């Protein structure tokens, strides 16, 4: 498959690993920002194949995981109401709120539906004029254009029974929050290629300069990630700190200008609370005043819901890169995909889910070996 198979070549992976080993002379800690990259790293054992000088830290790049508990509870409240069709991507249905999740609401009679696009929810609103249709609009910059387009189309079509429950978050303020945290060990970043394919790279040079860290835009296949690591380590060894694009087949410096214009028309920047992390200034989007009529929080009057995170869940520390999932006492015991304490265990991009799925059950895993002690294949 074009642009997939080419980036899973074992021989090229070994060459990149050899280059990284030859380049790294000191300990370096890199953070991959995207949860999709985390899953690829754990699935292919990339972190175990790297030289001991290079450590990968998992960042808060899972949009499901960072959706705050209070927003989940707002979704549960809205979805429970009669006359509502609540639409969501499938990975949100297992995310625990306070005492239940969207699957439980569906089992109790709520009309909760899995859709593949916000435009699917828009079509439901067109076909059901007597029902309120709400789409759960979460995600980083990647999903924002489609959600913005759905609201734009709803207004154009005059669909007054359509609204969004918005919990969009932005990557650059999260990078800033990570770097200003007292316990931060991050010395370089692998930036999310799909986010940059939409927004471009214009916001990153100031971060690289301010915090003196390399920021390398990477994709999601093994060779993408290894090349991103190679470039980041090379910069660190040379004392450089700049933005490099290791994903040119998908990312341009100006991103997708049409998508950015659509976002800027429909959304405005706001402060956002991140699950397990807390408030980050200017880290989210909300609907502008011109589209506020399509805001489900105001339409259903759930703006005053406030919650507290369960004390036994350490997902916030995982999302900040302070601990690995296996360092949480609940991991794999009281917290499993069937009984999750937090979103990181059930999201398709969650770090805890990746460790559980690929059987990383112990805090210490032999470097460059699999569970049976055999040499790991760098491309699975």
Identify whether the C-beta of residue 137 lies closer than 8 Å to the C-beta of residue 168. Answer: yes
Phi, psi of 136 (to 5 degrees): -80, 100
Phi, psi of 288 (to 5 degrees): -70, 170
Identify whether the C-beta of residue 110 lies closer than 8 Å to the C-beta of residue 85. Answer: no
Indicate the burial class of 57 (C-beta count within 10 angstroms; 0-12, 13-18, 19 or more). buried
pLDDT at residue 165, rounded to an integer: 97
Identify whether the C-beta of residue 337 lies closer than 8 Å to the C-beta of residue 358. Answer: no
pLDDT at residue 4, rounded to an integer: 62
- Give the pair of three-digit tokens for residue 211: 């915090």
Whole-model pTM? 0.89
Q: What is the layout of strands, in order, in the sheet containing 132-139?
A: 111-114, 84-88, 132-139, 162-169, 278-287, 267-274
Paired sense of beta strands 84-88 and 132-139, if any: parallel
- Give the pair of three-digit tokens for residue 256: 């997708």
pLDDT at residue 304, rounded to an integer: 79
pLDDT at residue 342, rounded to an integer: 87
**What is d(CA 279, CA 276) in angstroms, rounded to the nearest whole number?**
10
The β-bridge partners of 188 are: 30
Indicate the burial class of 127 (C-beta count within 10 angstroms; 0-12, 13-18, 19 or more). exposed
- Give the pair of three-digit tokens for residue 225: 């990630």
Which residues are within 8 A (CB) of 208 and not within 5 positions of it... i.e. 6 or more apart? 214, 215, 241, 242, 243
pLDDT at residue 172, rounded to an integer: 96
Q: What is the pLDDT along the chain (380 residues), one digit of tens a residue?
A: 455 666 667 889 999 999 999 999 999 999 998 999 999 999 999 999 999 999 999 999 888 999 989 999 999 999 999 999 999 999 899 999 988 999 999 999 999 999 999 999 999 999 999 999 999 999 999 999 999 999 999 999 999 999 999 999 999 999 999 999 998 999 999 999 999 999 999 999 999 999 999 999 999 999 999 999 999 999 999 999 999 999 999 999 999 999 999 999 999 999 999 987 889 999 999 999 999 999 999 999 997 777 777 778 898 899 988 999 999 999 999 999 988 888 999 998 899 999 999 989 876 543 433 332 333 344 44
- Give the pair of three-digit tokens for residue 297: 């929080």
Identify whether the C-beta of residue 48 lies closer than 8 Å to the C-beta of residue 362. Answer: no
**What is d(CA 304, CA 70) in angstroms, rounded to the nearest whole number?**
9
Q: Which residue shows structure tokens 């709803």?
A: 154
Identify whether the C-beta of residue 326 lies closer than 8 Å to the C-beta of residue 78. Answer: no
Task: Identify the helix (H) or strand (E) that includes residue 238.
Answer: helix 222-238
**What is d(CA 322, CA 314) in angstroms, rounded to the nearest whole number?**
10
Phi, psi of 268 (to 5 degrees): -135, 155
Q: Which residue, 333, 322, 332, is CA-closest to 360? A: 332
- Give the pair of three-digit tokens for residue 75: 């979704």
**What is d(CA 349, CA 355) in angstroms, rounded to the nearest whole number?**
11
pLDDT at residue 348, rounded to an integer: 86
pLDDT at residue 44, rounded to an integer: 93
2-6: long-range contacts, CB 8 A cutoff, minimum separation 24: 3/249, 4/221, 6/223
Going through 193-345 in order, the beta strands assigned E by DSSP cover: 215-218, 243-245, 267-274, 278-287
The count of other CB atoms within 10 Å of the CB of residue 301 is 10
Cα separations in angstroms, 379 against 13, 46, 82, 340, 359: 8, 8, 49, 29, 17
Cα separations in angstroms, 265 against 40, 155, 378: 34, 13, 43
């Amino acid at each position: 498959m074009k642009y997939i198979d080419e980036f899973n070549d074992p021989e090229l992976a070994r060459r990149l690993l050899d280059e990284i080993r030859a380049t790294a002379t000191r300990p370096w800690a890199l953070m991959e920002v995207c949860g999709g990259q985390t899953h690829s790293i754990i699935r292919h054992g990339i972190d175990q194949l790297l030289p001991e000088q290079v450590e990968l830290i998992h960042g808060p790049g899972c949009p499901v995981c960072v959706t705050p508990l209070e927003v989940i509870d707002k979704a549960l409240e809205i979805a429970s109401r009669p006359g509502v069709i609540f639409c969501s991507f499938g990975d949100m249905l297992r995310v625990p709120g306070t005492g239940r999740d969207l699957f439980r609401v569906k089992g109790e009679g709520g009309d909760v539906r899995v859709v593949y696009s916000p435009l699917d929810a828009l079509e439901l609103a067109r076909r059901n004029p007597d029902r309120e249709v709400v789409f759960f609009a979460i995600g980083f910059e990647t999903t924002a254009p489609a959600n913005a387009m759905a609201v734009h189309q709803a207004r154009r079509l005059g669909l007054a029974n359509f609204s969004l429950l918005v919990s969009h978050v932005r990557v650059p303020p999260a990078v800033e929050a990570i770097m200003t945290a007292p316990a931060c060990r991050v010395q370089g970043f692998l930036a999310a290629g799909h986010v940059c394919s939409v927004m471009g790279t214009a916001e990153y040079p100031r971060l690289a300069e301010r915090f003196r860290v390399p920021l390398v835009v990477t994709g999601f296949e093994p060779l993408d990630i290894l090349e991103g690591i190679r470039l980041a380590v090379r910069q660190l060894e040379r004392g450089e700190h700049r933005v490099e694009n290791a994903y040119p087949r998908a990312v341009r410096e100006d991103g997708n200008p049409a998508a950015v214009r659509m976002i800027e028309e429909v959304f405005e920047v706001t402060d956002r609370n991140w699950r397990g992390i807390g408030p980050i200034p200017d880290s989210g989007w909300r609907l502008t005043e011109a589209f506020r009529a399509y805001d489900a929080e105001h339409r259903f009057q759930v703006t005053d819901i406030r919650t507290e995170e369960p004390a036994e869940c350490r997902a916030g520390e995982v999302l900040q890169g302070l601990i690995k999932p296996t360092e949480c006492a609940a991991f794999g015991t009281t917290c499993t995909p069937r009984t999750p304490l937090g979103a990181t265990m059930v999201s398709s991009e969650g770090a805890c889910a990746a460790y559980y799925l690929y059987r990383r059950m112990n805090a210490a895993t032999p470097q460059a070996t699999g569970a049976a002690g055999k040499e790991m294949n760098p491309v699975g």
